[in-house]
Amino acid sequence: MAKYIFITGGVVSSLGKGVAAAGCGALLQSRGYTVHARKFDPYLNIDPGTMSPFQHGEVYVTNDGYETDLDLGYYERFLGAQLSRNDSVSGGRIYWDVLNAERHGDYLGATVQMIPHVTNKIKEYISAPTDTDFVVCEIGGTVGDIEGQIFLESIRQFANQVGRRNVMFVHLTLAPYLEKSGELKTKPTQMSVRRLLENGIQADMLIVRTPRMLTSDERAKIGMFCNMPAQNVISGIDVDNIYKIPLAYEGQHVFDIIAEHFGLPSATGDMTRFQKIEHHLSADLPTVHIGVVGKYFEVPDAYKSLNEALFHAGIQNNVHVKIKKINAESFSADECTGLDGILVPGGFGNRGVAGKISAANYARENRVPYMGICLGMQVAVIEFARNVLGIADADSTEFSKNCTPVIDIMADCDAEDMGGTLRLGAYPCVISPSSRAHQIYGKTEISERHRHRYEMDVSLREKFQQAGMKISGLSPDGKLPEIIEIPDHPFFVAGQFHPEFQSSPYSGHPMFNAFIAAALRHKH
């Protein structure tokens, strides 16, 4: 059977449990083990799909069309794994499943209770088959949260059922540094571990978030009060790039701790791919400046996958990518001066749409490399229709009911129904052989992930093409435009999908790689 590593957190939220989980998984992979990852979030939303980016950050979409927590992006990027709807599970989904089962009569009239019915449902998701050596499970929230207690009880039960040597508990805490007194305080970590122990869980390894490395005395003190060897106390120091985390863990012998717990043979890891990224970060390379015209910048994680994909493409092109955040709601053409490329990402609602349309216009008229993602493709179509085709009231029915619609709701969806109408997950796309899109991908059939409700009107295809904008990618039935481009432009390409969800730090993504290459040409 697979062995399980559970990642929990205490003291405060946002300690980086997702990155820690991915980092531990990467160390196992570096020794040849196969790894799967899962995320359990105690909140009561069924999934993050309806949660505001201003509050929760990015919604990550899996291949099978499930809206998940952004930590699944960390897992897929770090581990190269392809995760599914059963790898992102919320408290709301658990209770939904249990209550529906009760209504269906599955419990045969029994009194439905937190134990065993809710805990059993959580354990079902934990133990779903993976065909891997390890499953790394992150438990969201913070130890002490009311809604998270049932998840801690579930993993406690699970460890007893499968055997303590088949389960490892890794706990993230915070050791705050008091600048006035020059002291690093370990008491919050001690109290967090004690709170975890109150739930019947003894941590096997601690990752303590600190601004500096813990001293041997501090590690010994924490180990003594937290009932573990001092060497199992790891310094979770701040790094300037998340891909340095596996190297930081490797330097502190995290794999050796995991190996000792599970009885694995000692082995040297191949950390080449992370060393390559570390070298790129410190290398003296040219810098391209990319303007991202968005509206969710208040939350750093709102464009997490997008930022990562640009960084990945920089690695592939041997350049540093510097992102300039441009607020679409107050867009000014002056903000585009000196940019080597303009990217308009996805989004919902009409806030900032005028600014995004203006950004597409600026890129087209000034021949600055342009990449559009989802809504970024739609605003490019609207801009072209208005300013090249002369359709003054061209718009999307998402933003205006009294317009000439060049973007409209999918034919089989009710525009008034805001639930269940999104085109979600991986869909195939057929690419025209003689197109820039074909040059980018090197193939005529691709698969990309979607998250949108509105589509370009394909009946306008000939009119757009005659004026200079080509639909170079279509759904296999020819009804849904997937990629548009302007051939007579240094680089003007947009997709209805979200390519950032399939970008990798080890290979990038074809569309982002091509966009950054075009930005570098523009710079020169």
Q: Indicate the domain borders of the chain.
A: 3-276, 284-523
Q: Which residue is catalytic, options 58, 448, 482, 500?
A: 500
504's enclosing H/E stretch is: none
Please give the CATH architecture assigned to the domain spanning 284-523.
3-Layer(aba) Sandwich (3.40)
Length of the chain: 524
Listed residue (97, 500, 494) closest to 302, CA to CA? 500
**Tell me, what amino acid is at 425?**
G
Q: Any idea which residue has 């193939």 for tokens?
A: 443
Predicted TM-score (pTM) of the model is 0.93
| Spatial separation of the C-alpha atoms in residues 362 and 368, rounded to whole Å | 8
Distance of CA 283 to the CA centre of its chain: 26
Listed residue (92, 206, 211, 99) closest to 140, CA to CA? 92
Q: Identify whether the C-beta of residue 298 lies closer than 8 Å to the C-beta of residue 54.
A: yes
pLDDT of residue 52: 77
Q: Identify whether the C-beta of residue 388 lies closer than 8 Å to the C-beta of residue 365.
A: no
- Residue 164 CB contacts under 8 Å (≥ 6 apart), including other chains: none
pLDDT of residue 418: 40
| Spatial separation of the C-alpha atoms in residues 332 and 339, rounded to whole Å | 13
* Class of 3-276 in CATH: alpha beta
Number of CB atoms found within 10 A of residue 352's CB: 23
Per-residue tokens: 206: 């601690």
pLDDT of residue 1: 85
Task: Name residue 236's beta-bridge partners.
Answer: 209
Per-residue tokens: 521: 């040409």
Task: Name residue 427's beta-bridge partners.
Answer: 448
Please indicate whether residue 374 is annotated as part of the active site: yes
Tell whether the torsion through CA atoms of 300, 313, 504 and 428 is positive or negative: positive
Q: Identify whether the C-beta of residue 224 lies closer than 8 Å to the C-beta of residue 252.
A: no
- Residue 453 CB contacts under 8 Å (≥ 6 apart), including other chains: 398, 409, 410, 413, 421, 422, 423
What separation, in Å, do the N-terminal and C-terminal C-alpha atoms of the chain show? 55
Measured in degrees and rounded to the nearest 5, phi and psi for residue 429 equal -140, 135
| Spatial separation of the C-alpha atoms in residues 153 and 169, rounded to whole Å | 13
Listed residue (364, 359, 346) closest to 493, CA to CA? 364
Check if 3-276 and 284-523 are the same fold.
yes
pLDDT of residue 503: 97
Please indicate whether residue 445 is annotated as part of the active site: no
Q: Which residue is catalytic, options 374, 398, 452, 489?
A: 374
Per-residue tokens: 153: 């009880």
243's enclosing H/E stretch is: none
pLDDT of residue 414: 42
b/e per residue 277-302 (b: at least 16 CB within 10 A)? bbebbeeeeeebbbbbbbbbeeeebb
Please indicate whether residue 498 is annotated as part of the active site: yes
| Spatial separation of the C-alpha atoms in residues 373 and 515, rounded to whole Å | 12
Listed residue (123, 190, 193) closest to 153, CA to CA? 123
Q: Identify whether the C-beta of residue 486 lies closer than 8 Å to the C-beta of residue 492.
A: yes
Q: Hey, is 388 helix, strand or coil?
A: coil
pLDDT of residue 301: 84
Q: Any idea which residue has 């813990």 for tokens?
A: 214
| Spatial separation of the C-alpha atoms in residues 273 and 253, rounded to whole Å | 18
Positions in the chain whose pLDDT score sits under 50: 413-419
Per-residue tokens: 517: 């290459």
Residue 271 exposure: Cα atoms within 13 Å on the Cβ side: 20
Query: Residue 220: is it exposed, middle or buried by C-beta count within 10 angstroms (0-12/13-18/19+)?
Result: middle
